[in-house]
Chains A and B, each alone.
Chain A
Amino acid sequence: MTTPQIPKPTGSFEGTDLGDEYLFYDRENDRVHVLNTTAREIFLLCDGSRSEDEIAGTLAETYELEQATASKDTQQTLKRLYELGVLAS
């Protein structure tokens, strides 16, 4: 049995929440990463207390999505945020 991943922000980037989008500033490379509305919602749920499944569940409930759709969106977004170094587990 594997331990569920609990994503949380690495704090490596400066974040700016615009309400409709979330921006991350990669100061070292002087680049800005933009999270769209859905990705922003997912990121904000990554506070170190929820597993990926719980995040997908909350997303499905909030936006009345099918669980499969919410899980797929969550997985894709988290994968990208791990790659960018925005999240760690």
Chain B
Amino acid sequence: MNVSNETRTHLQILETGVTLRGPAEVVEPIAFAYRRFHVDDAGPEAIRLDLEAVNAVSARVCGRPIELVPDLDVGLQFYQFLLDELMDRLGSQALLHAAALRTRSGGALLLAAPSGHGKTSLTLELAHRGLGFLGDDYAPLDLDRRLVLPFPRAVGIHPDGDAPIPLPFRSLASEPGVTRLFGKSLLDVGQVLGESSVVTEPLPLQGVVLLTAHKSAGTGLPTRIVVAARRGDGDELQAFFAGTGGIEILDRAERPHLSLWSLKLEHEASPTEALSRVLDSEKVLFSEKIWDERPDFQGRPSVVPVRRREAAEFLGREMLNRRNGGRLLARHGGSVTALFLHLAAALREASCWRVSVGGAGATADLIESLAD
């Protein structure tokens, strides 16, 4: 095996140390994405991820061998192992799928949205306008102290995409020497906008903005999900999908090592909770939610206040570490409901709004006015 280009990097991500070791082409982009989390020593309790070679058949996660799926990008799998391990270890923070910015009054404003709703573009635009950057994708919320912690990973931008990214980011994303991960150019916000633009301290939660495509109240839930699993688990998952009310199997495809499904969800039949448990299990390699309703990026944005419970529901659905084996859920007696209520309580001092996304500039204007 070729280990001549082996790279090792140590990170401290929230309360958890991480050591990554493997081929440079796999480890270095991940290390760049987490460059603000680098430390000299990750400590004896660190998550250890080892990969001997790009063409290895397995990786080791904290000493456990985990088989790699040959059809999948090895870097993507290694990256996912890191996230899964990290999410299981967090015990006091809810890792929310949301961007976070420092308002002019010094609080944290969360922007929560499904993928494809302009979260990264809006975050970079607002950071460019002077709001402090905590993160564009993950927001760890300390549930007891109601603090949002910085999570300033490098931002991934499609170099040839048409998203309305501020010019300094757009220009850099196209440069040939930029580090790329899964086809996206990685940019450090502090390098582009200056170190003072990156927040390094936890901030009290001040507001939550739910970015949606729809003008009126709706479920805001995905209508389709694509799921991939190892073929060995295919029949068991097929039986679950076929036997769970509210899930319609649109398509199933078999690859040499993978089973793939396209599922349609009927939320009136409440498939969500049972499905979430399966999607969080180790049987599922990855899943992607697809919303039929897309924002009208040429339209006029609008805003309505929402109750904290509604905001908590929205955030809770996208809470990344409410995993079955995770410390956070264990801390709540294994009850998703108890965890949800803890999240809701953490929003007690926050103002919450639902913003229907429209044109980029007008939507940023609207959110900036809420952040004052």
Binary contact track A4-24/B, C-beta < 8 Å → 1, others 0: 000000000010111111010
Q: Which of A14, A17, A25, A30 contacts B348 (CB 8 A)?
A: A17
Q: How many residues of B contact A (CB 8 A)?
A: 13
Evaluate contact between B341 and A16: CB separation under 8 angstroms: yes
Report how many A-B pairs have Cβ atoms within 8 Å: 38
Whether the Cβ atoms of B308 and A18 lie closer than 8 Å is: yes
Tell me whether A19 and B348 are in contact in the complex, defined as CB-CB below 8 angstroms, given that A30-B337, A32-B337 are known contacts. yes
- Nearest-CB distance from A69 to chain B (Å)? 24
Q: Which residues of B contact A25 (CB under 8 A)?
A: 337-338, 341
Q: How far is the CA of A21 from the CA of B349 in the complex (A)?
A: 12
CB-based contact B338/A23 at 8 Å = no
Per-residue A-contact encoding for B331-372, CB less than 8 Å = 1, 0 else: 000010110011011011100000000000000000000000
Residue in chain B with minimal CB distance to A21? B309
Shortest A20–chain B CB gap in Å is 6
Q: Are A21 and B307 in contact (CB under 8 A)?
A: yes
Contact between chains at B345 and A18 (CB < 8 Å): yes
Instruction: Establish whether residues A18 and B348, one from each chain, have CB atoms under 8 Å apart when the complex forms.
Output: yes
Determine if A34 is an interface residue (Cβ-Cβ < 8 Å).
yes
CB-nearest residue of chain B to A36 = B307
**Inter-subunit contact B337/A20 (CB<8 Å):** no
A20 near B308 with CB under 8 A, answer yes
A residues lining the B interface (CB < 8 Å): 14, 16-21, 23, 25, 27, 30, 32, 34
20 A-B pairs besides A14-B338, A18-B308 with CB distance below 8 A are A14-B341, A16-B341, A16-B344, A16-B345, A17-B348, A18-B347, A20-B307, A20-B309, A21-B307, A21-B309, A23-B309, A23-B341, A23-B344, A25-B338, A25-B341, A27-B335, A27-B337, A27-B338, A32-B341, A34-B309
